[in-house]
Structure 1
Amino acid sequence: MSEKRNLSAKERTTDFGSSGARRVLRGKRIPAVIYGNKKNSVHITLDAQEFTNKLRHFSETALLNIDVDGKKYECLMKDYQENLMRGEIKHVDFYEVTRGHVLRTKVSITLTGSAKGTREGGVFEQVLYEVEIECLPKDLPESITADVSKLGLHEVLHLRDLVIPAKVKVLDDLSQAVATVKTLKAEAVKAEVEAPVAVEVVAPAEKEDKAKK
C-alpha cells in the first residue's frame, strides 16, 4: 500500500465528550473512530498535520492502513467534519474492512474524452456520478472509468455499457443513464418544463370584483 495511504494513530481511552475533543484538537491531533466488524468501536487520535497533508489521496474507496499503537487496521474513510472558518478537521470516521469478506460500497464514475456529439451541436451531460458495488476489499476499484469519445448526438451511455472489473458486482439498475448528448433545443425545452409556474393568488373580494367585470 502506498505510503500516502498509511496513517499513524494513538488509541483514545479517556477524555471523551466535546470538552475532551477540544483538548485533543488544541494538542494538534484529531479525534477519530474506527467502526465496522468488531463489537466495540476503536476511538483514536490522528496527527493533524499528517492527516491534512494526506487527505487529498483519500476517498471513500481508497483502502487506508491505520497503525494504532502497533496494531494494524485496514479501513475506508467514510466521513470527516471540518471547521471551514478555521481550516480545521474536527473528527474523522473510518470503517474497518476484513480481508475475505464481501464489501458493499459506492464508487465514483469517471468519464474521459470528449463526446463527438458535442461537435455536432449537442450538449454533454453526466447524470450519474456514482454506482453501488459489491466485491472483496482486494478487488475494490477507486472508480469506474468510461471513455465517452464515441457518444454521438441523441445517444445515451447506460450503466450496462460501462466496463466493470470481473470480480466486481454492480448492485444498481443497469438501465440507468450515465451520460447523454442532447441538442440545445432539447435542453431549452427541459428548462422550460422544469421552470416554476407563476400562480396569481387572488383574495376573495378581488375574485368577486373580477367576476362582476
Structure 2
Amino acid sequence: MEQFVVNAKIRKEAGKRVSKQLRAEGRIPAIAYNEKGESIMLDVDAAEFSKAWRSITPTTLINLKIDGQDNMAYIQDTEYDIKTDKNLHADFHIVSGTKPITAVLKMHYSGTPVGVLKGGFMVKHVPDVKLKALPADMPVSISADVSKVEIGQKFTVADLGLSDKVTILSKPTAVIVSIAPPRK
C-alpha cells in the first residue's frame, strides 16, 4: 500500500485569527501528540492532508514530515466542515514504533459462504475486533474469508488467522459469523 506523506511546519501562534489566515492560504492548523503526551502545534497543506485522510483507515501509518524530519504517525482526528467539504483542523498521534498500540478494527467479509449458496442465511455477530501490536505490524483492516462456512457452522475470532505479531484482545470464542438454516 502507498505510504502517504504529509508535510508540516511548526507554528508558534495559535487562535482564531491565525487559523483563519492559515485556511485562507490553503493550509490547516494541526496538532501532533507523541507517546509521552507532549504536543506540537503544526500547520499542514490542506490538499495534501485531505488526499491522505480520504484514502486511509484509522490504523494506517503515515509519514508526517515536520520541518523535513520524518515521523511515523496516525491521523487521530479531524474537524471537518460538511458544508464546505473541507478539513478545518487535524490531530496526529506520533508513534515511536517500539511501543505496542491497541486498536479496534471493523470486520470486513470476503467470499460467499457455502451455507448461503445452499439456502442458509449469514448472521453477523461481532462487528469489530480489538487488537494489540507494534504500529508497523498492525493490520490496516481485517477481512474474514467466510466462503467455507456451512449451514450450522460458526466462524470465530480464533479463525481469523492473523500474524503471530498481532495479539487478539477480543474473546477468541466470540462468533463473527454463523450460517442459519433455511426457513421452512
Shared fold by TM > 0.5? Answer: yes
* Offset, 1:147: 1.0
After superposition, residues 20-99 of structure 1 pair within 5 angstroms as 20-99=18-97
User: Number of paired residues?
Assistant: 184
Q: What is the TM-score with the length of structure 1 in the denominator?
A: 0.77
Match of 1:6 in 2: 5
Q: 1:144 to 1:39 in 2, by over 3 A?
A: closer
Consecutive unaligned residues in structure 2, runs of 5 or more: none
Return the structure number with greater helix share.
1
What SS does the corresponding residue of 1:72 show, helix, strand or coil? coil
* Offset, 1:184: 6.1
2:178 and 2:31 map into 1 onto residues whose CA distance is 41
Contact 1:133 1:169 in 2 (8 A): yes
Of 110, 113, 118 in structure 2, the residue corresponding to residue 120 of structure 1 is: 118
Which letter maps to 1:6? V
Superposed CA RMSD in Å reads 2.1
* 1:119-161 deviation digits (Å, cap 9, x = unpaired): 2222223333322111122212112332101112232211111
Contact 1:117 1:123 in 2 (8 A): yes
* Offset, 1:89: 0.9
* 1:52-98 deviation digits (Å, cap 9, x = unpaired): 22333321111111111122221111222211111011122211111
After superposition, residues 106-185 of structure 1 pair within 5 angstroms as 106-183=104-181, 185=183
2:75 and 2:157 map into 1 onto residues whose CA distance is 26
1:167 and 1:156 map into 2 onto residues whose CA distance is 25
Greater gyration radius: 1
What SS does the corresponding residue of 1:139 show, helix, strand or coil? coil
What SS does the corresponding residue of 2:122 show, helix, strand or coil? strand
* Offset, 1:37: 1.4
* Offset, 1:113: 0.6
- Percent identical among aligned pairs is 26
Q: 1:153 to 1:51 in 2, by over 3 A?
A: same
Contact 2:32 2:94 in 1 (8 A): yes
Q: Please say which of residues 53-62 and 65-74 is displaced more in the overlay.
A: 53-62
Consecutive unaligned residues in structure 1, runs of 5 or more: 187-213
What SS does the corresponding residue of 1:22 show, helix, strand or coil? helix
Which structure has more RCO (C-alpha within 8 Å, separation ≥ 6)? 2
Contact 2:119 2:182 in 1 (8 A): yes
* Offset, 1:39: 4.4
2:77 and 2:126 map into 1 onto residues whose CA distance is 21
Match of 1:198 in 2: none
Q: 1:35 to 1:116 in 2, by over 3 A?
A: same
What SS does the corresponding residue of 2:58 show, helix, strand or coil? coil
1:137 and 1:10 map into 2 onto residues whose CA distance is 24
* Offset, 1:183: 4.4
